[in-house]
């Protein structure tokens, strides 16, 4: 258990930050699922629209440090390639 006032405050901040990060990570996963669902339905215009909506969110989450920038780029690249593969 935290003994000093500084450590108690830090523990409170960590709880708040963890809940915020988990929420953002959940939003990221949901956005990716929406794009994958549009891709699986073979609707290219819907998939592109979902990708455009999620790309900004992926970048902002990476900028906040919740996920690594390379992971964000990998997600965007794979989703983009899957959309381009729809014929």
CATH code of residue 55: 1.20.58.110
Find the domain containing 40 and state its range.
Answer: 5-84
Compute the distance between CA of residue 46 and CA of residue 86 in angstroms, rounded to an integer.
12
Cα separation of 64 and 32, whole Å? 18
- Cα 34 vs. chain centroid, distance in angstroms? 12
Of 70, 42, 43, nearest to 58 (Cα)? 70
Rounded Cα gap, residues 79 and 76, in angstroms: 5
Q: What is the pLDDT of residues 35-83, one digit of tens each?
A: 999 999 998 999 999 999 999 999 999 999 999 999 999 999 999 999 9
Number of domains comprising the chain: 1
**Global pTM?**
0.83
Instruction: Give the per-residue pLDDT at 87.
Output: 74
User: Quick one: which of 24, 19, 11, 7 has its CA closest to 61?
Assistant: 24
């Amino acid at each position: 258990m935290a003994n000093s006032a500084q450590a108690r405050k830090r523990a409170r901040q960590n709880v708040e930050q963890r809940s915020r990060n988990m929420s953002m990570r959940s939003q990221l996963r949901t956005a990716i699922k929406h794009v994958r669902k549009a891709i699986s339905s073979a609707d290219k215009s819907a998939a592109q629209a979902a990708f455009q909506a999620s790309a900004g969110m992926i970048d902002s989450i990476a900028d906040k440090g919740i996920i690594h920038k390379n992971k964000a780029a990998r997600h965007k690249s794979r989703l983009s390639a899957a959309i381009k593969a729809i014929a």
